[in-house]
């Protein structure tokens, strides 16, 4: 059944005059008459009684018009909703965020989306990359961002670098080591470290920095996938937190955490990338979210963004 013919019939039912109805739907009277006749033939029922002067609804026509009005109303709503989804103004977008970008990027993202797209709902999975990868392959999320260095090559996956977040050792304000200007890395060992689950490359670098044997256990005394908990533990303890500058920017700005620097350390960083399924087109809302995450990465403290095939520090 042609929706245009439904609209033609509704116009005639409301105007009860072919001339006015034809003008309303921008048709000639003969064209409108043919459209109504075709609809009646499809239904096998007359919808209108007409003579040279009058047009009236039949009993079947009255029932039909009641349903037709509801149907065209629903169709207008559907067209409107599809337009809003196309423009990322409404709907639901599901994506994943690793522990570091959860702390350093997610709050800004949520604030931006709530301000600019209040009709768009977000379903966010915050987890380590292993669990997020399971969610992605189960198509529970459209993409995720995380430190993706340990993800093995997979023809079904597309990984796009976003940024490097540079890391430092962090301690609570008033930590004993802050008062020791001649401190060395050996001085850190009695306190132990707190960190996220480290990528293999980061573990190797950490051992190198601490001058440990390749297979020696790391002195990580508290390890979890929640940066908020790691920061809370560090604020209440003398443990040394390994974190990116972007993840602890608010605490450093407020003075509750302070960097514990050592001369000559090699650069430590997380490589944040976007992971999605090959051949799966992102929804407009997912594209919008991912674009905004790229923008946030460009302004994150202590970060370099991936552009034009290389990592670049932002001015």
Cα Rg for the chain, rounded, in angstroms? 31
The answer to whether residues 173 and 282 belong to one domain is: yes
Counting beta carbons within 10 angstroms of the beta carbon of residue 227, is it exposed (0 to 12), middle (13 to 18) or buried (19 or more)? buried
CATH of residue 182: 3.40.190.290
The answer to whether residues 104 and 174 belong to one domain is: yes
Q: Tell which residue, 18, 40, 5, 97, has the closest CA to residue 293.
A: 97
Per-residue pLDDT, 315: 45
Query: Tokens for 21?
Result: 């109805």
Long-range contacts of 32-37 (CB under 8 A, 24+ apart): 32/8, 35/4, 35/5, 35/8, 35/9, 36/5, 36/8, 36/9, 36/12
Which SS3 state, helix, strand or coil, does residue 196 take? Answer: coil
Q: How far apart are CA 302 and CA 107, in angstroms?
A: 17
The answer to whether residues 99 and 242 belong to one domain is: yes
In this structure, what DSSP letter does residue 267 have? P
Query: Tokens for 236?
Result: 């209440």
Whether residue 226 lies inside any domain: the answer is: yes
Q: How many domains does the chain have?
A: 2
The answer to whether residues 78 and 95 belong to one domain is: no
Query: Which residue, 36, 65, 86, sits at the end of a domain?
Result: 86
The answer to whether residues 189 and 40 belong to one domain is: no
Whether residue 315 lies inside any domain: the answer is: no
Contacts of 2 (CB under 8 A, 6+ apart): 39
The answer to whether residues 71 and 99 belong to one domain is: no
Place of tokens 């996938």: 225
Per-residue pLDDT, 250: 95
The answer to whether residues 48 and 174 belong to one domain is: no
Per-residue pLDDT, 265: 87
Question: What is the block-wise mean pLDDT of the chain (315 residues), using blocks of 10 residues?
Answer: 88 90 92 93 92 86 91 79 68 93 95 92 95 94 94 93 94 96 90 94 89 90 95 97 95 97 89 92 89 93 85 64
Domain of 251 in residue numbering reads as 91-310
Q: Tell which residue, 272, 252, 270, has the closest CA to residue 170.
A: 252
Query: Which residue, 86, 120, 152, sits at the end of a domain?
Result: 86
250-287 burial string, b = 16+ CB within 10 Å, else e?
A: ebbeeeebbebeeeeeeebbbbbbbbbbeeeebbbbbe
Q: How far apart are CA 296 and CA 137, in angstroms?
A: 26
The answer to whether residues 202 and 60 belong to one domain is: no
Per-residue pLDDT, 1: 73
Counting beta carbons within 10 angstroms of the beta carbon of residue 37, is it exposed (0 to 12), middle (13 to 18) or buried (19 or more)? middle
Per-residue pLDDT, 80: 66
Whether residue 148 lies inside any domain: the answer is: yes
Instruction: Note the pLDDT tens digit of each residue in 37-86.
Output: 999 999 999 999 987 778 999 999 999 999 998 888 888 777 766 766 77
Within the chain, where are the H helices? Answer: 3-15, 18-24, 29-43, 59-86, 99-104, 106-116, 129-137, 200-210, 227-235, 249-254, 284-299
The answer to whether residues 25 and 125 belong to one domain is: no
- The span from the first CA to the last CA of the chain, in angstroms, equals 60
Query: Which residue, 66, 86, 106, sits at the end of a domain?
Result: 86
The answer to whether residues 265 and 176 belong to one domain is: yes
Beta-bridged to residue 304, according to DSSP, are 164, 313
The answer to whether residues 162 and 291 belong to one domain is: yes
Contacts of 154 (CB under 8 A, 6+ apart): none
């Amino acid at each position: 059944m042609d929706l245009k013919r439904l609209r033609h019939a509704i116009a005639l039912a409301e105007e009860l005059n072919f001339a006015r109805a034809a003008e309303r739907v921008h048709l000639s009277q003969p064209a409108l008459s043919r459209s109504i006749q075709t609809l009646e033939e499809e239904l096998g029922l007359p919808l209108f009684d007409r003579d040279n002067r009058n047009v009236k609804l039949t009993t079947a026509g009255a029932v039909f018009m009641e349903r037709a009005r509801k149907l065209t109303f629903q169709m207008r709503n559907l067209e409107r909703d599809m337009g809003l989804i196309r423009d990322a103004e409404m709907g639901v977008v599901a994506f994943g965020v690793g522990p570091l970008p959860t702390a350093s990027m997610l709050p800004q993202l949520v604030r931006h989306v709530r301000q600019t797209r209040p009709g768009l709902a977000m379903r966010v999975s915050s987890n380590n990359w292993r669990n997020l990868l399971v969610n992605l392959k189960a198509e529970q999320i459209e993409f995720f961002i995380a430190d993706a260095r340990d993800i093995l090559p997979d023809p079904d996956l597309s990984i796009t670098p976003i940024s490097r977040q540079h890391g430092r050792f962090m301690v609570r304000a008033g930590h004993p080591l802050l008062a020791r200007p001649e401190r060395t890395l050996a001085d850190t060992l009695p306190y132990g470290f707190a960190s996220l689950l480290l990528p293999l490359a980061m573990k190797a670098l950490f051992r190198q920095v601490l001058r440990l044997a390749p297979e020696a256990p790391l002195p990580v005394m508290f390890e979890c996938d929640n940066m908020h908990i790691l920061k809370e533990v560090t604020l209440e303890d003398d443990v040394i937190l390994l974190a990116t500058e972007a993840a602890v920017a608010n605490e450093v700005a407020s003075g509750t955490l302070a960097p514990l620097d050592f001369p000559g350390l090699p650069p430590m960083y997380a490589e944040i990338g976007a992971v999605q399924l090959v051949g799966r087109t992102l929804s407009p809302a997912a594209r919008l979210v991912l674009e905004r995450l790229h923008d946030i990465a460009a302004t994150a403290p202590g970060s370099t963004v991936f552009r034009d095939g290389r990592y670049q520090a932002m001015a």
